[in-house]
A and B are shown apart, each in its own frame.
Chain A
């Protein structure tokens, strides 16, 4: 089993030095997601303004994969149009669910391509997706609130 395929240097870097960590104001929605099998948890806030993801802030406990994935996600999504952010979300989801068969697009996923190896470890896919699912949930809630 190729451990280095899973634990890319980029992942370990983000794990040791996570970006955008902490919970910040302002925000429109806050969600709490848990991985029931292992207990990893994330509390995540989104701040949208004018169709742009202004901030994603979080407080998370979990393994290197889930922590690094959260950090990379914030790098990728903060500052993007919501539509573009959703496209990136979709690309990451497809990569993770691709059982190692999906070739990631570096232009879209940037540091996120380091997670390509995770897709070959089924037990860890949920770790990588925890905060991405939380972000989508919080963002959808915000958009629905705005509509209402």
Chain B
């Protein structure tokens, strides 16, 4: 099968991911269509992490011995690689966190505290109805704690942001606009730049949840219009336990520290302390060292394949999947129907079969998808559904796997005795 845009070396790429050779119960080869949940890891990431643990393990920054120097160098080199990958103007603007959720909480928490950017009573924070819970709850906490008001963009019937009331939503009162670049449920790619320009015009800062964008799109943080942009390592073929917060230097310098502890200080006296500069100001305690090193190898891997090529592949597979899914009677795709304006996560409903049951039948055939609310309950509520089934592809996904999914869905219907 040849579809324009597919990665030409797809078979070679698949060989890089050892788990794709797994055979599951019943002799079914794994068909992994849950990459928006977490991506699989290439051998080079696994090997880099093992090598670090086997040969270079030591704490960073505070060990004076040779291993300490090697470990620090590997950790800081990972920061360089991530900075280059997202085109950050400065490596110091890249802060390692535990995941995207922690990065978003870091921003939402520090905005509550005294400082130039402090959010208070009368101020407004604007989010959207298609956010992951990680980009909703921290802002609810912030506004509840400070007496600020939380507002949000609604969605159109075809799953895009409803920008018709942008001028009423983003006003002089707006202090923060936080939105997802690519929806993990609807797949929608949002016009981040357009919204950011509007937000900047009223003096608000823009936080972008790029958890689903960085895996799929070439990202240039400055061009995106974001003041702060976050993503999570495990969705970009890296390990769990590591996330990234990028912020414009001026913004990061204006935010007060988040967690206090080792590494984030300049000097400590009993009365008070002074703090390290960025990035260390936001990295209290021993960081996830081997995870950062693994993430460095992961973004190197993606760079090597080329993000333009990864994006083209995702679009090709997504277009093919959208077509295949439409052939299943009673199936409704949620979100935009043209592959060009969406990412590789496709949520759908199958009339007469609950998503759990869909996922269970597919799993019995070795096909891994996600069923539930995908941490986007408000977006589901907007479309009047309680849950959905989601398939999500990545650079290693083949058209044959999409065929297996579509066939599995036909089988699911017949298993639940639904007529055509």
List residues of A whose CB falls within 8 A of some B CB: 1, 3, 6-7, 12, 37-41, 61-65, 67, 121, 124, 127
Most buried by B among A41, A62, A63: A63
Which of A1, A37, A65, A67 is close to B363, meaning CB atoms less than 8 Å apart?
A1
Contacts A1-B25, A121-B360, A124-B360; A39 near B354 (Cβ below 8 A): no
Cross-chain contact A39 with B361 (CB below 8 angstroms): no
Cross-chain contact B363 with A38 (CB below 8 angstroms): no
Q: Which residues of B contact A7 (CB under 8 A)?
A: 357, 415
Q: In residues 8-25 of chain B, which contact A (Cβ within 8 Å)?
A: 24-25
Cross-chain contact B377 with A39 (CB below 8 angstroms): yes
Total residues of chain B contacting the partner, CB 8 A: 22
Cross-chain contact A38 with B371 (CB below 8 angstroms): yes
Contacts A1-B25, A7-B415; A39 near B360 (Cβ below 8 A): no
Contacts A37-B372, A63-B357; A1 near B364 (Cβ below 8 A): yes
A65 and B353 alpha carbons, distance in the complex (Å)? 11
Cross-chain contact A127 with B26 (CB below 8 angstroms): no
A67 and B356 alpha carbons, distance in the complex (Å)? 12
**Minimal beta-carbon separation of B341 from chain A (angstroms):** 27
A123 and B93 alpha carbons, distance in the complex (Å)? 41
Cross-chain contact A39 with B387 (CB below 8 angstroms): yes
**Minimal beta-carbon separation of B125 from chain A (angstroms):** 25
**Minimal beta-carbon separation of A131 from chain B (angstroms):** 15
A-B contact pairs, 20 of them (CB 8 A): A1-B24, A1-B364, A3-B360, A3-B361, A6-B360, A7-B415, A12-B416, A12-B417, A37-B372, A38-B355, A38-B371, A38-B372, A40-B386, A63-B354, A63-B356, A64-B416, A65-B356, A67-B354, A124-B356, A127-B356
Q: Which residues of A contact B280 (CB under 8 A)?
A: none
**Minimal beta-carbon separation of B163 from chain A (angstroms):** 28
Cross-chain contact B380 with A39 (CB below 8 angstroms): yes
A3 and B356 alpha carbons, distance in the complex (Å)? 13
A92 and B117 alpha carbons, distance in the complex (Å)? 55
Cross-chain contact A39 with B373 (CB below 8 angstroms): yes
**Minimal beta-carbon separation of B388 from chain A (angstroms):** 10
Contacts A63-B354, A124-B356; A38 near B373 (Cβ below 8 A): yes
Q: Which residues of B contact A1 (CB under 8 A)?
A: 24-26, 363-364
Q: Which residues of A contact B373 (CB under 8 A)?
A: 38-39
Q: Which residues of B contact A3 (CB under 8 A)?
A: 360-361, 364, 415
A6 and B360 alpha carbons, distance in the complex (Å)? 10
Cross-chain contact B357 with A64 (CB below 8 angstroms): yes
Top 7 nearest A-B pairs by Cβ distance?
A63-B356, A63-B354, A38-B372, A39-B373, A1-B25, A3-B364, A1-B364
Which of A6, A12, A41, A121 is close to B386, meaning CB atoms less than 8 Å apart?
A41
Residue of A whose beta carbon sits closest to that of B417: A12
A39 and B354 alpha carbons, distance in the complex (Å)? 12
Given contacts A38-B372, A40-B356, A127-B356, list 14 more A-B pairs with CB under 8 A.
A1-B25, A3-B364, A7-B415, A39-B372, A39-B377, A40-B386, A62-B356, A63-B355, A63-B356, A63-B357, A64-B356, A64-B357, A64-B416, A65-B357
